[in-house]
Structure 1
Amino acid sequence: MLRSMYSGIAGMRGFQTKLDVVGNNIANVNTAGFKRGRVTFQDMLSQSSSAASAPTATRGGMNPSQVGLGSQVGTIDNIHTQGSRQTTNRALDVALQGDGMLVFGQGFDPTPAGFAGFAPEGIAANVELQYSRAGNLYLDDNGFIVNPSGQYLMGFQANGTNDGVTTQVDAINIPKTADSFSISSDGTVNYVEAGETKVAGQISLAKFSNPGGLEKLGGNMYQTTQNSGQMYVDSDGSGDFTAGADSILYTPESEGTAKIIAGALEMSNVDLAEEFTEMITAQRGFQANTRIITTSDEILQELVNLKR
Structure 2
Amino acid sequence: MLRSLWSGVSGLNIHQTELDVIGNNVANVNTNAYKSSSTTFSDVLYQNMSRATAATPNTAAVNAKQVGLGGRVSAIKANIGKQGNYQTTGEPFDMMINGDSFFVVGDLANTETYYTRDGSFKVDNEGYLVNSKGLYLKPLAGGGIGDRIQVKSEALLKSAGEATASVTLYGNIDARDDSFGAEGKDVVGSMYYNGESGQYTLIFNIKKQDDNHYTLEAKKAIDPKEPGETVDVTGTAELEFSPATGKLTSAATANFTIGTTGLTVNLDKLTTYANGGKSDLSLIKGTSNDDGVFEGTGKPEGILTNIAVSKDGTVSAVYSNGNSNDIAQIATAVFANSSGLISEGDNLYSVSAASGEPTYGTVDAEGGSITTGVLESSNVDLADEFTKMITAQRAFQANSRVITTSDSMLQELKQLKKA
Q: Same fold (TM over 0.5)?
A: yes
Residue type at the aligned position of 1:211: S
Please state which structure has a larger fraction of its residues in helix: 1
Residue type at the aligned position of 2:311: S
Provide Cα deviations, 1:240-293, integer angstroms capped at 9, x if missing partner: xxxxxxxxx11121133x210111111111100000001111111111000001
In 2, Cα distance between the equivalents of 1:278 and 1:184? 40
Partner of 1:155: 139
In 1, Cα distance between the equivalents of 2:34 and 2:352? 19
In 2, Cα distance between the equivalents of 1:24 and 1:168? 33
Check 1:296–1:168 CA distance in 2 against 1; reply closer, same or farther (3 A cut).
closer
Instruction: Write the mapping of 1:1-308 to structure 2, written as runs, cut at 5 A.
Output: 1-80=1-80, 81-108=82-109, 126-156=110-140, 169-176=146-153, 177=157, 178-192=304-318, 195=321, 196-232=323-359, 249-256=360-367, 258-308=368-418
Partner of 2:161: none
Provide Cα deviations, 1:128-172, integer angstroms capped at 9, x if missing partner: 210000011010001110000000000136xxxxxxx76772311
Residue type at the aligned position of 1:143: G
TM-score w.r.t. length of structure 1: 0.83
Kindly state the Cα deviation for residue 231 of structure 1 after the two structures are TM-superposed.
2.2
Provide Cα deviations, 1:29-77, integer angstroms capped at 9, x if missing partner: 1111111111100101000000001101111001110000011111111
SS at match of 1:296: helix
In 1, Cα distance between the equivalents of 2:108 and 2:139? 16
Check 1:280–1:180 CA distance in 2 against 1; reply closer, same or farther (3 A cut).
same
Provide Cα deviations, 1:81-122, integer angstroms capped at 9, x if missing partner: 1111111111111011111100002152xxxxxxxxxxxxxx
Provide Cα deviations, 1:201-255, integer angstroms capped at 9, x if missing partner: 11110000000110000000000001102323xxxxxxxxxxxxxxxx1112113
In 2, Cα distance between the equivalents of 1:85 and 1:22? 22
In 2, Cα distance between the equivalents of 1:69 and 1:156? 53
Kindly state the Cα deviation for residue 194 of structure 1 after the two structures are TM-superposed.
6.5
SS at match of 1:253: helix
In 1, Cα distance between the equivalents of 2:27 and 2:85? 17
SS at match of 2:339: helix
In 1, Cα distance between the equivalents of 2:410 and 2:363? 65
Check 1:156–1:288 CA distance in 2 against 1; reply closer, same or farther (3 A cut).
same
SS at match of 1:191: strand
Residue type at the aligned position of 1:83: G
Q: Report % sequence identity.
A: 44
RMSD value, Cα: 1.5
SS at match of 2:7: helix
SS at match of 2:24: helix
Residue type at the aligned position of 2:120: N
Partner of 1:120: none
SS at match of 1:38: strand
Check 1:280–1:188 CA distance in 2 against 1; reply closer, same or farther (3 A cut).
same
Structure having the higher Rg: 2
In 2, Cα distance between the equivalents of 1:78 and 1:15? 18
Residue type at the aligned position of 2:400: T
Residue type at the aligned position of 1:68: G
TM-score w.r.t. length of structure 2: 0.62
In 1, Cα distance between the equivalents of 2:61 and 2:140? 68
Kindly state the Cα deviation for residue 25 of structure 1 after the two structures are TM-superposed.
0.3
Q: Which runs of 5+ in 2 are unaligned?
A: 158-303
SS at match of 2:42: strand
Count how many residue pairs are aligned between Structure 1 and Structure 2: 267
Please state which structure has a larger fraction of its residues in strand: 2
Provide Cα deviations, 1:159-198, integer angstroms capped at 9, x if missing partner: xxxxxx7677231111234542121111011123564421
In 2, Cα distance between the equivalents of 1:23 and 1:156? 38
SS at match of 1:307: helix
In 2, Cα distance between the equivalents of 1:200 and 1:144? 12
In 2, Cα distance between the equivalents of 1:69 and 1:168? 50
SS at match of 1:11: helix
Residue type at the aligned position of 1:70: G
Q: Which runs of 5+ in 1 are unaligned?
A: 109-125, 158-164, 233-248
SS at match of 1:14: helix
Do the aligned partners of 2:120 and 2:375 also contact (CA within 8 Å) in 1?
A: yes
Do the aligned partners of 2:38 and 2:77 also contact (CA within 8 Å) in 1?
A: yes
In 2, Cα distance between the equivalents of 1:166 and 1:304? 74
